[in-house]
């Protein structure tokens, strides 16, 4: 087992000029930095070990702030103090890069893209039904049934507290299933 020598905080800085501790009347060397203020986090006091410990024990970033200011600061910190925007509304995003939203989760008609099926393979009604299931043509019957079961479980009114919106979505899913069931291929 290799044992290292005890670390001497001042020995590695022998070529740098020694700065005194910023605590008034302290003759020690200031080896440890501490922020001067929450408004000046990149401006430092330099303290010896004893005084930096005392400073850290009394440091309160939120001192002098109201409860509302503290809440706002904590919320800004949850996003690393970077700007945020509503989901689906990223600045600089063009209409050509939108995504499919057949259930209008992002708002009324927002983000809709044309169905991804081959042109001419399905009627417009069938293409709209494909968009509801988020499937590509041709659709194997087994895939259609599996997707149908998944959507029914997710949007059934009983699973959503009797929601009228869920009931309406389920009606759309059922109509789309009836439309595609006859067109779906038996499978590979």
CATH 1.10.287 fits 99-181, yes or no: yes
| pLDDT per residue as tens digits for the range 116-148 | 444 446 788 888 888 888 887 788 888 889 999
Q: Are 102 and 128 in contact (CB under 8 A)?
A: no
Domain ranges of the chain: 16-64, 99-181
* 76-86 residue pLDDT tens: 888 888 877 77
Whole-number pLDDT of residue 91: 66
Query: What pLDDT shows up at residue 12?
Result: 52
Q: Is the pTM of this model over 0.85?
A: no
**Full DSSP string of 48-108:** -HHHHHHHHHH--TTTT--HHHHHHHHHHHHTTT-----TT--TT--GGG----TT-TTST
Give SS3 for 36. strand
Beta strand pairing call for 40-47 and 32-37? antiparallel
Distance in angstroms (rounded) separating the CA atoms of residues 100 and 26: 67
If you count them, how many residues does the chain have?
188
- Reported as a pLDDT band with limits 50, 70 and 90, residue 94 is low
pLDDT of residue 163: 85
């Amino acid at each position: 087992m290799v044992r290292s020598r005890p670390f001497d905080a001042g020995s590695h800085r022998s070529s740098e000029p020694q700065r005194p501790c910023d605590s008034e009347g302290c003759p020690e060397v200031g080896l440890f930095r501490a922020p001067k203020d929450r408004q000046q986090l990149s401006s430092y006091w330099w303290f010896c070990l004893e005084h930096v410990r005392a400073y850290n024990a009394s440091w309160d970033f939120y001192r002098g702030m109201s409860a509302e200011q503290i809440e706002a600061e904590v919320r800004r910190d949850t996003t690393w103090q970077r700007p945020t925007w509503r989901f689906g509304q990223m600045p600089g995003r063009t209409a050509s890069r939108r995504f499919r939203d057949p259930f209008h989760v992002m708002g009324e008609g927002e983000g809709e893209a044309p169905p991804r099926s081959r042109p001419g393979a399905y009627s417009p009604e069938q293409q709209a039904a494909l968009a509801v299931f988020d499937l590509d043509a041709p659709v194997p019957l087994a895939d259609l049934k599996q997707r149908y079961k998944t959507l029914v479980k997710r949007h059934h009114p009983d699973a959503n507290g009797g929601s009228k919106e869920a009931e309406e979505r389920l009606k759309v899913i059922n109509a789309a299933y009836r439309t595609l069931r006859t067109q779906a291929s038996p499978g590979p």
